[in-house]
Amino acid sequence: MSDSIPSLSSRTVALRNGLSITVTEQGDADAAGGKSILLLHGGGGPSTVAGLATALADRAYVITPTHPGFDGRPRPDWFDDPTDLALAYLDLLDALQLWDVVVVASSMGGWTAAEMALHDTRGRLSRLVLINAVGIDTDGRAEIVDIRELSPAEIGPLAFHDPTLLPDPATLSEEQLVTVAGNQIALEIYGGERFHHDPKLRRRLHRVDLPVLVLWGEEDGVLPTAYGRLYTDSIPNARFRTIPKAGHLPHLEQPDLTLTAIEEFLGEKAA
């Protein structure tokens, strides 16, 4: 990844339904030839994709929203599932007047991206990159681990190839600990009672006609590669690619390999 840091700014965008979304923007749309990337974080919050945003901003205008409820942002009571997020981000693209947008999304953000593709009636999206995405039911075809009853110490070795990359809670400030706890609450709300999936989603994905790259950390102990392959098989124009020596967040454990895979995919001509 580049050592340079493209210009970064944050603002809050008011949407027509009364919701407000805080976004971080990096890169220059004009210099990037109009290329825009919407980068969606997972349950760990926007900090987990900050490095990827900076790297991608060397090549595109990158918008990273903070999901309502994460990092202390307000979340209306009615706003409680990934479809709400998907529609809000399509409204955001309307407000920003962006077209041909690539959505790069991690974990729960991947579920949201899939819902965006299903609801994109105005054709604003051009491609999806789903990184260890949740959201589909496997009908027993892939074993997943329900992490809701596990402690952070138990989750770490499952989610990371190298669990030493996990932050040590003892080193976090009280404010940071409050943020982490709030993010976990928000994640549970969006994940719902069915544990991060919609039983109908997989049977709807045949309607996604965009080119899709499904990226998967090979050592994800929560969602195995079989889950990623099932996701891929459910989307007509999708391909599957693994990242070695990486778990649920390959963009953190193997940033260069992840960036290369994304760049190669974005550089290809649409079929």
Q: Which residue has the tokens 């220059």?
A: 28
pLDDT at residue number 144: 83
Q: Are the C-beta atoms of residues 129 and 213 closer than 8 Å to each other?
A: yes
Distance (Å, whole) CA 156 – CA 169: 12
pLDDT at residue number 2: 43
pLDDT at residue number 149: 77
Distance (Å, whole) CA 45 – CA 24: 13
> pLDDT tens per residue, the chain (271 residues)?
444 456 789 999 999 888 999 999 999 877 777 789 999 999 999 999 999 999 999 989 999 999 999 999 999 999 999 999 999 999 999 999 999 999 999 999 999 999 999 999 999 999 999 999 999 998 887 778 877 777 777 888 899 999 888 877 788 899 998 998 999 999 999 998 877 899 999 999 999 999 999 999 999 999 999 999 999 999 999 999 999 999 999 999 999 999 999 999 999 865 5
Specify which residues 120 forms β-bridges with.
Answer: none
Q: State the SS3 of the chain.
A: CCCCCCCEEEEEEECCCCCEEEEEEECCCCCCCCCEEEEECCCCCHHHHHHHHHHHCCCCEEEEEECCCCCCCCCCCCCCCHHHHHHHHHHHHHHHCCCCEEEEEECHHHHHHHHHHHHCCCCCEEEEEEECCCECCCCCCCCCCCHHHCCHHHHHHHHCCCHHHCCCHHHCCHHHHHHHHHHHHHHHHHHCCCCCECCCCCCCHHHCCCCEEEEEECCCCCCCHHHHHHHHHCCCCEEEEEECCCCCCHHHHCHHHHHHHHHHHHHCCCC
Topology of domain 8-267, CATH = Rossmann fold (3.40.50)
Give residue limits of the domains in the chain.
8-267
